[in-house]
């Protein structure tokens, strides 16, 4: 810098001094820009871990972001969190941007399980470890680890809740089925778990399926193939969208006869869709009572549970998931191997998994599980 400046000074004379000063300033500016770029490149290369979450339009993933930020206060590693807004193209762009910043570990919750394989492969090719977070990336061996809740157990907890709330000995209780997005492998795991518990009670006539001819076709089969599940999910999917869920529930209620109403049982795949579906059922004057499931313990659903508008939620303590993901990332950066407790088949690889347990929350235990544990604060709710 001094050399350029000195060179500039040397050539100065009285006539062209202002012209030369201008040139000199330009050089200085260029040099300054160069240093800024250099510094930002150095800073960027210091990025250790990239986290890509599917969308911030759902409270569930905002919860994860908050818990990541809390947990990251105690780590020496640098982490950047990006959202994909439900778009595989944005997801890919996020992953590419993080790779360019030199991440060593990618923690990614895919929007679309199959489409995300390409992003995982790009990361792998760049020497980055790939951790699938909550949702499994399918059809690729580029996934190193899977950090997840026991999603089949989530479905079982929902099924169990509905079965436990049927009056013993009664038959033909109306059952409405709803599912998550077909593009999310978890939708299959949740449905598989719920079906395992519900199916014997459908087969023996305790429940009568109201809104799925595809489920009706296989009602005597305990273990469904992926194709059979895909047909049912395709028919009753909410696409993880509150609006789709509400419209579907309203359409089902329009088609349903009076005998399909009264006291009803509803398998709703998560809290956001449960609130939408519950709102539709509450608005129908022929529905006298309903039992509805959910998952995620979103604050709005906790309030619904307190108010008696949603029956249960499956609590997935995001703090545990975040902790497992960060621990695994740290171990990988340090050249060590995380301990795994299960494997999940993604069609190409049996992916080693670190699995967290879940808990059923109802009006009776909501305080104990969500407030006493410090997960939420009592003043966040109207009691
Ligand atoms: C997650 C749920 C979430 C749903 C919709 C699933 O993969 O496991 O917790 O509610 O996606 O975002």
Q: How far is the CA of 270 from the centre of ligand 1 (A)?
A: 7
DSSP-derived pairing of the beta strands 262-267 and 312-315: unpaired
Q: Which of the 8 DSSP states describes residue 138?
A: P
% the chain with pLDDT above 70: 88
User: Which residue bears the tokens 């509905």?
Assistant: 162
CATH superfamily placement of domain 151-316: Response regulator (3.40.50.2300)
Q: How far is the CA of 216 from the centre of ligand 1 (A)?
A: 26
Evaluate: CB of 184 within 6 angstroms of ligand 1: yes
Q: Determine contact, residues 241/178, Cβ cutoff 8 Å.
A: no
Q: Whose CA is nearest to atom 9 of ligand 1?
A: 296
Q: What are the tens digits of pLDDT across the range 64-84?
A: 999 999 998 888 999 999 999
Cα separation, 188 vs 216, in Å, equals 17
**Annotated domain spans of the chain:** 49-143+318-356, 151-316
User: Dihedral, CA atoms, 3, 5, 10, 15, nearest 10 degrees?
Assistant: 160
Q: Specify the CATH class of 49-143+318-356 in words.
A: alpha beta
Cα separation, 355 vs 320, in Å, equals 9
Model pTM above 0.85? yes
Q: What are the tens digits of pLDDT across the range 131-158?
A: 999 999 999 999 999 999 999 999 999 9
Cα separation, 369 vs 380, in Å, equals 15
Query: For a substitution probing ligand 1, which of 56, 132, 189, 240 has the most ligand atoms within 8 Å of its CB?
Result: 240
Does an H or E element contain 296, and which? none
6-10, 248-252, 264-268: the lowest-pLDDT one = 6-10
Strands (E), 100-223: 105-108, 129-133, 145-149, 173-177, 207-209
Both tokens of 27, joined, read 């050089």
5-9, 221-225, 263-267: the lowest-pLDDT one = 5-9
Q: How far is the CA of 65 from the centre of ligand 1 (A)?
A: 14
Cα separation, 376 vs 372, in Å, equals 8
Crossing angle for the helix pair 185-203 and 226-236, nearest 10 degrees?
90
Identical fold between 49-143+318-356 and 151-316: yes
Query: For a substitution probing ligand 1, which of 186, 316, 356 has the most ligand atoms within 8 Å of its CB?
Result: 186
Evaluate: CB of 240 within 6 angstroms of ligand 1: yes
Q: What are the tens digits of pLDDT across the range 165-192?
A: 999 999 999 999 999 999 999 999 999 9
Q: How far is the CA of 308 from the centre of ligand 1 (A)?
A: 23
Q: What are the tens digits of pLDDT across the range 37-61?
A: 444 444 444 699 999 999 999 999 9
């Amino acid at each position: 810098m001094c050399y350029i400046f000195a060179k500039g000074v040397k050539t100065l004379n009285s006539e062209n001094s202002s012209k030369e000063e201008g040139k000199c300033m330009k050089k200085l500016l260029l040099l300054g820009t160069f240093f800024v770029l250099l510094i930002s490149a150095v800073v960027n290369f210091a990025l250790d871990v990239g986290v890509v979450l599917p969308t911030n339009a759902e409270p569930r993933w905002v919860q994860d972001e908050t818990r990541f930020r809390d947990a990251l206060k105690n780590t020496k590693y640098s982490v950047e969190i990006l959202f994909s807004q439900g778009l595989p193209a944005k997801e890919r762009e996020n992953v590419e941007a993080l790779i360019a910043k030199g991440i060593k570990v990618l923690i990614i919750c895919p929007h679309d399980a199959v489409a995300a394989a390409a992003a995982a492969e790009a990361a792998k090719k760049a020497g980055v470890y790939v951790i699938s977070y909550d949702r499994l990336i399918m059809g690729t061996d580029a996934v190193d680890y899977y950090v997840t809740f026991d999603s089949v157990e989530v479905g079982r907890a929902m099924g169990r809740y509905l079965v436990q709330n049927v009056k013993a000995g009664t038959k033909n209780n109306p059952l409405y089925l709803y599912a998550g997005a077909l593009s999310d492998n978890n939708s299959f795991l949740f449905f598989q778990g719920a079906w395992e518990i519900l199916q014997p009670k459908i087969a023996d006539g305790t429940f009568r399926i109201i809104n799925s001819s595809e489920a009706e076709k296989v009602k005597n089969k305990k273990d469904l193939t992926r194709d059979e599940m895909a047909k049912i999910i395709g028919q009753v999917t909410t696409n993880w969208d509150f609006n789709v869920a509400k419209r579907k529930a309203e359409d089902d209620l329009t088609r349903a006869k009076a005998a399909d109403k009264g006291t009803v049982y509803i398998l709703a795949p998560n809290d956001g869709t449960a609130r939408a579906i519950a709102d539709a059922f509450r608005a129908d004057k022929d529905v006298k009572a309903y039992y509805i499931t959910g998952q995620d313990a979103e604050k709005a659903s906790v309030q619904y549970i307190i108010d008696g508008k949603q029956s249960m939620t499956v609590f997935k303590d995001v703090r545990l998931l975040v902790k497992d993901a960060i621990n695994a990332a740290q171990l990988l950066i340090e050249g060590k191997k995380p301990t795994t407790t299960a494997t999940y088949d993604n069609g190409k690889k049996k992916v080693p998994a670190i699995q967290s347990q879940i808990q059923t929350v109802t009006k009776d235990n909501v305080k104990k599980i969500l407030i006493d544990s410090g997960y939420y604060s009592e003043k966040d709710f109207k009691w």
